[in-house]
Amino acid sequence: MRGSLVIALGLALAFCDAHPDAPARPPDVPGRYVFAGAVAATLEITAEGDHYVVALSGGSPKGSGGAAPADCYVRATGTLRNDTLDAAFGSVDRETFTYSPTRAEREGRRLHIVFRPSGPEVTRADTDGYCGLGATFVGPYRRVK
């Protein structure tokens, strides 16, 4: 009987490890990434304790030249649950743009990043009314550092 339980437990663990629906824990979330498509954007993630700080910048279509909306900058802080980083926009104080802590809290903008085996994908970025018209960060990214 005991041998059967050990075999059953071993099979169950092997199935969970090999099952395609099992969430893959990203081995190394912090890093620098670039948008893997037609948008000029960078994504930087750093760990601070049990939270992650995300910086997104750019967001304009590649090759848009003078017709590009002004580059956008997002700073968000959040936590990783399974394969998804859920972060709240935070304050930003840049030379050309200011977003106060009070406004960030009042507006409650969110950022979601799903970590897939192929790399991170921004699936939600509440940038309407925050970034210039046409700027976007939603889509897949690839690691550069």
Query: What is the dotted CATH code of the domain comprising 25-143?
Result: 2.40.128
Digit-coded pLDDT (tens) for 22-68: 444 445 799 999 999 878 899 999 999 999 999 999 887 776 665 55
Is the pLDDT confidence value at 16 over 60? no
Mean pLDDT of the chain: 82
CA distance 109 to 97: 16
Tokens in use for 145?
């550092």
- pTM of the predicted model as reported, rounded to 2 decimal places: 0.77
Is the pLDDT confidence value at 7 over 90? no
Q: What is the pLDDT at residue 116? A: 92
Burial-class residue 89 by CB neighbours within 10 Å (0-12, 13-18, 19+). Answer: buried
